[in-house]
Amino acid sequence: MGMSTSIGMGSAAAFALLSIGILRSDWTNPVSQHWLPSDAVSKFELLELFAKSLQLEPSKVKPVRANDSVNRILVTEDQNASDALWKLAGYSKAPSIDSLCQEFIAADRKLSFTN
């Protein structure tokens, strides 16, 4: 089940790449920044993207309406800083959540955590 009324995003693989980029470049610029992908999805849509990337039957993911609708979409006050962080992580531009899901699955498979 995925909440169709709760919106947010995160990617461990992208954060790992950012961490590597920071260490390799000796980056020391202090920044308080929301690091955002190019789009936003609900938790339900995120589960659908993972199901698609894992070649699972997306119909197994069912939307559920939460009692309270919550919008957790972050915004950035400094898009240039966000863009710089994506470049530091090795991306030419902020990726979509779909591509971050695919990247996460590929890293997981390479490390043999799942089939």
Strand-pair category, 6-8 with 70-71: parallel
Amino acid letter at 5?
Answer: T
Of the pLDDT bands very low, low, confident and very high (cuts 50, 70, 90), residue 7 is very low
pLDDT digits (tens, 9 = 90+) for 11-61: 778 888 899 999 999 888 877 888 889 998 888 888 888 888 888 876 778
**Mean pLDDT along residues 93-108:** 88
| pTM for the full predicted model | 0.76
Of the pLDDT bands very low, low, confident and very high (cuts 50, 70, 90), residue 110 is confident
pLDDT digits (tens, 9 = 90+) for 49-99: 888 888 887 677 888 887 887 787 888 888 888 899 999 999 999 999 999
Q: How far apart are CA 40 and CA 96, in angstroms?
A: 8
The CA angle 105-3-75, to the nearest 5 degrees, is 75
Which residue from 75, 78, 89, 103 is spatially nearest to 21, judged by alpha carbons?
89
Q: How far apart are CA 91 and CA 59, in angstroms?
A: 32
